[in-house]
Structure 1
Amino acid sequence: MSMGTADEDRIKLNTADSKLVRKRSLKLLGSLISPVRGRFIYTIVLVVLSQATRVAGPLLIAFGIDHALPSMINGNPALLLFTGGGYILAAVLTSVMTAGYVTATAQLSQAMLLDLRRRVFRHTQRLSLEFHEKYTSGRIIARQTSDLEALRELLDSGVSSLASGIVFMLFTAISIFALDWQTGIVVLLAGIPMFFLARWYQTRSQLAFRASRVVSAKLIVHFVETMTGIRAVKAFRREKDNGARYSELAEDYRKVTVRSINLNGIFQPGLILIGNVTVAVVLLLGGFRVLEGGLAVGALLALILSTKRFFSPVDQMAMFYTSFQSAQAALEKVSGLLEEVPTVRPPSEPIALPQPRGELVFRGVEFRYGDGPVVLPKMDLSIPAGQTVAVVGQTGAGKSTLAKLVARFYDVSAGSLTLDGVPLNRLSNEDLRRAVVMVTQEAFLFSGTVAENIALGKPSASRAEIEAAARAVGAHDFIMELPEDYDTDVNKRGGRVSAGQRQLLSFARAFLASPAVLILDEATASLDIPSERVVQQGLQSLLGSVAGTSRTAIIIAHRLSTVEIADRVLVVHDGRIIEDGTPEELISSGGRFAKLHGAWQDSLV
């Protein structure tokens, strides 16, 4: 499936947006250069000096032919020796300083890229959950991989090629004018067709390279999603369809890449043609002037060498422009990511909460996702410290949204949500994460050992504390059956654990963290019946008294076996609490919860 007009129109930016994006990209580039500006200036000085010594070669040749050779014929070889020595010295200095600026450029580019990689990673972590729920992981990976790779290619060699090329052409032009101003005019006139050819290439390649970045991101997204969801792919036999879709995207990428190559295939030979024609014109006009005695032979030779060398960097600069277009598109994407602002921000003047009790109060709380419709309308709710509250309701009723507000993954749109009388948005991230812990259905294990994964809840925990947490939630027995028990790497052979065991490890994390408020969002959904019974016992410890403190718990579940341990049940429907009471009270009332409870008992039979 090739990219059509609609895709191209979508990729194009209007003039105002283009200027804004360019300004944003240049601002990012400037911020990367600022910390290393000393090294940047040093590199520029090396570039200027190396190109100055490089340009001296043809001038010394002209001087040697027109002045040093006649002097030697007249019996004075000193001038020729001086000229030859100067030429050798210039060549040596050019080599040494070229090696110096190439090395300095590599060090400079790597320092800038290191800074940028850290920024992208740290900024992406700081962004709110709302961003990550709409910005796919594949696109984020593209920012960290293909986009930064395009910038690396530009900074490693492209910038040095451009800088050295421009300086060399400038010095060469000066030397040509110094030798013969008429030839200088010819070289300047050659710049006119070069300008129009470069302008033609710029307008077309910009669109092509921007399209290339878009298609590249789509390709990476599809690959990441396929590999991440490989179980579903296998289960539904989607290999053929996914392969076909990937082939379409790969074909799109091939086409936009070929389009860029074709443009360069016109641009680069066009520049070479202009250079060769200019050299021929200089040779023709200069030859007639030598015959007429208006130009010395050495000067003509130097002019031909200088003119030919004047256009030699054009080839490198054409390659730079190719890298530049790709890097510019990548820089636009990366700068756009860094421009994203967290919707949930830490307070400028946080209120300390050193010993949270776990009392939660909703007063007139309303919530909507972005500019969407209200999903929680006007909620008033009080949860005393130490109370275990179960939240039930149909899918999409607003249960998980309520949990995300308590965990402050999102801020309320209106009203207030307080913990022990302190608004959640006035707590520091450290106090909030210590006070509130959320366990979700997706129990993610990071690379490392079982013990390291449990210690995520408390990085400073001792081995004894880790094992105690595992015992409390019923995870110790299966951990001891692993090849290296608590030291087993969860991502290596023999360290694989089932979905239920993963969830037990996440419970151990929560137990170790010892929060004042624990949120379980469908946390037992992946457990089988025997495992669930073990977890129920662990939950009694997890939700009960630990270190003399009572724990507030919000349990969101479809399985009513988990609800039975709750002190209180909230039934949510369309974002509103329609029933509130103990499990026994709601069952006896014959309302919605009673029907859910009856259906659950029937399912057990």
Structure 2
Amino acid sequence: MSTVTGVRGEERDEYTKAESRWIRRRSLRLLGSLLHPLRAQLWLTMAVVVVSTAAQVAGPAIIAYGIDQGLPALMQQDWLPVGLAGLAYLLTGTAGAFLIAWYIRMAARISQAVLIDLRTRVFLHTQKLSLEFHESYTSGRIISRQTSDLDAIRELMDEGINQLVRGVLYMLFTAIALVWLDWFSGLVLLVTLLPLAALTRWFQVRSQKLFRRSRVASAKLIVQFVETMTGIRAVQAFRSERRNERVFGDLVDDYRDVNARALGLFAVYNPALNFMGYVAVAGVLLIGGFRVADGALEVGVLLAAVLYTKRFFDPMEELAMFYNSYQSAASALEKISGVLEEQPSVPDPTEPVDLWTADGRVRFESVEFAYTPDRVVLPRFDLDVPAGQTVALVGSTGAGKSTLAKLISRFYDPSDGVVELDGVDLRRMHPKDLRRAIVMVTQEAYLFSGSVADNIALGKPEATFDEIVAAAKAVGAHEFIEGLPNGYDTDVNKRGGRVSAGQRQLISFARAFLADPAVLILDEATSSLDIPSERLVQEGLQTLLADRTAVIIAHRLSTVAIADRVLVMEHGRIVEDGSPADLIGGTGRFAALHAAWRDSLV
């Protein structure tokens, strides 16, 4: 689990030096793993860009030769040097253009391969992470990783890398050519590079912090937008539009201010670059002019030296823009590498135990569970649920009912003790066998975009249409499905928007029953149903739960009537255990709850 980046907590825009070094190493490891399969293409691309850059840089040297050697020869009626210079200039220009086009195509292929790999890794990895991660890492931040962060990396890969590689090589080859042509002019250029290095370092230090803050501000904007749109019913129900407007406005202002400060840095850096370029050209021209007058330098060499000096600074502005893309992409890669560094808190077993067919006996042995060391939710307890028994968990909100159910589903592992299915520790069971044997239906009743039949078939992808219909009939969903515009082929739209909350719950029941698990957990699963629908579902439950273990969590005590056994929980402890009839006839907590419920019906 990553502790430096604060993935589980609030993202920060500043880190200590040690943290920054660790994060950079982590990001570089990720980048290296992405590029490693493409190393052959990378080497070929590098070779092409080196040759193309050398061809481009050769131009001024060829011009110097044409002037200093070709013109005197031409005056002697020897046109060969001038002709050779013109032909060489044309050939190097053509070769450079062709190789650059080839390089851009190869670089684009590498960029797309890296982005596809990274996008797939983020999706697959976040899908594998445990429920604990998803309950603490908001959906908006996950979406930010897959959208704005990956877009920042895409911009760098598509354009920034081209600017960097070609710019750096161009400057390097230009400096080499200048020194080779006239070392004194190269010395003049070197003098101007000293303040340039100091300016670039100043820009780097300040922009790094600002671009990291920019990525955090962008992520907060996305989180706020996604959460507002996802919870739009609650927003409108509680009339919180004005509050959200203020919050979103503050986030927009923060994002604008950060980007304005970043642009302010460019407003200083870019003009300073241009000014230093003018100073360098002026210095080479002035000193070179005196040397030409003294006969120590030829005119063609001076012209080439001036051209090389001017060309040396040409990529500087592009490199400054690259640094903009680089800082955004580096910050984005830090965030993504932090997510990919996360390890499931419920890891798959290294040597899984197969359980092809499960009877459904669930046993808790000396189990204790705590989200944090100082927050024990379930104190140490034992529990044995025989195969085929229907158990109802009853208790006030926060009593630990859902936590107990999540331990059975292995959404969490116990802090201590063992949870077993048919004598096999859930931590050792093969994940496929576990998911096949235990199914949990929650009150959320999430439906995916697609048809009703597709959503039911999620419980058994290979199911036939007849099996899907049979599952729907078993839970009382068939009648309303047939009444939909296209029956089982009706598109439920995003989040099941075309069906009511109760109908979504019935579809989720059909999905679970089609999976035919040995253990079925219903966590407040009837909370969205009206009384007639609940009775209809209970009739289906009595039939379908006859040969399987079931754990039902419900506040509605009418649902408890089909249970063989009732467990009353308070503060994480099981305070009562018995059949519904025995507990109702007693004087305990459940009897009081049942009496209050019965009075409420009068």
Instruction: Quote how far apart the aligned CAs of 1:11 are.
Output: 2.6
2:582 to 577, 585, 594: 585
Change (3 A) 1:528 1:324: same
Offset at residue 333 of structure 1 (A):
0.5
- Quote the offset at 1:71 in angstroms: 1.4
* 2:596 counterpart letter in structure 1: A
What is aligned with 2:325?
323
Q: Which stretch of structure 1 is more off in the superposition, 525-534 or 56-65?
A: 525-534
Residue-by-residue CA offset, 1:62-93 (whole Å, 9 max, x unaligned): 00000012112212212211111110001101
- TM-score, with structure 2 as normaliser: 0.97
Cα distance in structure 1, aligned partners of 2:106 and 2:274: 30
Paired with 1:567 and 1:201, the residues of 2 have a C-alpha distance of 71
- Aligned pairs for 1:273-422 (under 5 A) are 273-422=275-424
Q: CA deviation at 1:371?
A: 3.4
**Residue in 1 aligned with 2:146?**
144
Equivalent residue, structure 1, for 2:519: 517
> Conserved in 1, the CA contact under 8 Å of 2:419 and 2:426?
yes
Residue in 2 that maps onto 1:491 = 493
Distance in 2 between residues matched to 1:40 and 1:128, nearest whole Å: 36
Aligned equivalents of 2:299 and 2:424: distance in 1? 89
Contact 1:393 1:572 survives alignment (8 Å): yes
CA distance in 1 between counterparts of 2:64 and 2:443 reads 80
Equivalent positions of 1:185-584 (< 5 A) are: 185-491=187-493, 496-544=498-546, 550-584=547-581
Could you report, residue by residue, the CA deviation over 1:228-257 in whole angstroms, capped at 9, with x for unpaired residues?
Answer: 000011111111111111111111100001
CA distance in 2, matches of 1:167, 1:56: 13
SS in 2 for 1:111: helix
CA distance in 1, matches of 2:306, 2:116: 44
Instruction: Write the distance in 2 (CA, Å) between the matches of 1:493 and 1:307.
Output: 62
3-state SS in 2 of match to 1:553: strand
Task: Please tell me the root mean square deviation across aligned C-alpha atoms, in Å.
Answer: 1.4
| Distance in 2 (alpha carbons) for counterparts of 1:587 and 1:480 | 40
Please report how far the alpha carbon of residue 372 of structure 1 lies from its aligned counterpart in structure 2 after TM superposition: 4.0
- Residue identity matched to 1:586: L
Q: Give TM-score scaled by structure 1 length.
A: 0.97
Q: Equivalent residue for 1:125? A: 127
Shift of 1:191: 1.1
Matched to 1:590, the amino acid is T
Distance 2:44 2:513 in 1: 56
Contact 2:129–2:343 (8 Å) recurs in 1: yes
> Structure 1 residue 58: deviation in Å?
0.2
Paired with 2:369 and 2:11, the residues of 1 have a C-alpha distance of 36
**Structure 2 CA distance, aligned partners of 1:114 and 1:495?**
31
Q: CA deviation at 1:272?
A: 1.3
How far did 1:493 drift?
13
Which whole-Å CA distance do the structure 1 matches of 2:540 and 2:221 have between them?
A: 44
Contact 1:360 1:417 in 2 (8 A): yes
**Equivalent in the alignment of 2:591:** 594
Q: Do the aligned partners of 1:489 and 1:495 also contact (CA within 8 Å) in 2?
A: no
Per-residue deviation at 1:430?
0.3
* Contact kept in structure 2, 1:483 and 1:494, CA below 8 Å: no
How far is 1:538 from its partner? 1.6
Residue 10 (structure 1) shift: 5.4
Does the aligned pair in 2 maintain the 1:482–1:495 contact within 8 Å? no
- State the one-letter code of the partner of 1:526: S
Distance 1:492 1:273 in 2: 56
Supply the distance in 2 between the matched residues of 1:141 and 1:540 (Cα, whole angstroms): 41
1:104 aligns with 2:101: no
Report if the CA contact (8 A) 2:472-2:478 is conserved. Answer: yes
Q: Which amino acid aligns with 1:603?
A: S
Q: Is the CA contact 1:392–1:569 (under 8 Å) kept in the aligned structure 2?
A: yes
TM-superposed CA distance for 1:49, in Å, is: 0.8
Deviations 1:304-337 (A, max 9, x none): 1111001101111111011111111111111111
Give 1:13 deviation, angstroms: 1.1
Task: After TM superposition, give the deviation of residue 156 of structure 1 in Å.
Answer: 0.7
Q: CA deviation at 1:539?
A: 1.2
Distance in 2 of aligned mates of 1:439 and 1:89: 71
Pairwise CA distance, 1:201: 0.5
| Aligned residue identity for 1:507 | F
Q: Hey, what does 1:547 align to over in structure 2?
A: none
- Per-residue deviation, 1:378: 1.0
Check conservation: 1:398, 1:573, Cα contact below 8 A.
yes
What residue number does 1:604 align with? 601
**Which structure 2 residues correspond to residues 175-186 of structure 1 after superposition, within 5 A?**
175-186=177-188
SS in 2 for 1:11: coil
Matches within 5 A, 1:51-70: 51-70=53-72
Residues 361-413 of structure 1 deviation map (CA, whole Å, 9 limit, x = unaligned): 11100001143411111110000000000000010000000000000000011
CA contact (8 A) 2:447 2:494 kept: no
Deviations 1:239-285 (A, max 9, x none): 11111111111111000011111111111111111111100111111
Q: CA deviation at 1:9?
A: 12
Report the Cα offset of residue 541 of structure 1.
2.3
Alpha-carbon distance in 2 for matches of 1:103, 1:157:
12
AA aligned opposite 2:65: F
Q: Any conservation in 1 of the 2:447–2:496 contact (CA below 8 Å)?
A: no
The structural deviation recorded for 1:105 is: 1.3
Whether the 8 Å contact between 2:12 and 2:216 is mirrored in structure 1 is no
Shift of 1:494: 11
Return the alpha-carbon distance in structure 1 between the equivalents of residues 296 and 28 of structure 2.
50
Whole-angstrom CA distance in 2 between matches of 1:156 and 1:40: 15
1:105 touches 1:157 (CA, 8 Å); kept in 2? no
